């Protein structure tokens, strides 16, 4: 079984997204956080289910039409690299 690792930047992005939404609608923020955590569970179980990423060596999981999780899979780990709103500039 692969170890799941969240990069600090991905955790910061998750906190920022959920915090921003919570300022406007707490229920929606809680739903998004639950959806992201559920997505991480699915990725842990089937890491290659996400589509190949735009950056070589990464994969993308569409959490919601507006949110994308970028991650990397190796033999021993799954690393969550970024959590982005779909309108954000995609990292190179």
Please, which pLDDT band fits residue 21 given cuts at 50, 70 and 90? very high
- Answer whether 65's CB lies under 8 Å from 86's CB: yes
pTM reported for the whole predicted model: 0.90
- pLDDT digits over 38-72, tens only? 999 999 999 999 999 999 999 999 999 999 999 99
Residue 7, CA atoms < 13 Å, CB-side half-sphere:
13
Distances (CA, A) of 77 to 1, 5, 52, 53, 85: 8, 7, 17, 17, 24
CATH class given for the domain over 3-85: alpha beta
Residue spans of the domains in the chain: they are 3-85
Phi then psi dihedrals of residue 2, to 5 deg: -80, 145
């Amino acid at each position: 079984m692969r170890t799941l690792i969240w990069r600090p930047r991905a955790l910061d992005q998750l906190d920022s997204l959920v915090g921003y939404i919570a300022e406007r609608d707490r229920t929606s923020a809680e739903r998004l956080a639950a959806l992201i955590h559920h997505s991480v569970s699915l990725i842990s179980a089937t890491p290659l289910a996400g589509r190949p990423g735009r950056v070589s060596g990464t994969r993308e999981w569409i959490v919601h039409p507006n949110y994308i999780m970028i991650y990397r899979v190796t033999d021993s780990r799954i690393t969550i690299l970024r959590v982005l709103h779909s309108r954000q500039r995609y990292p190179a």
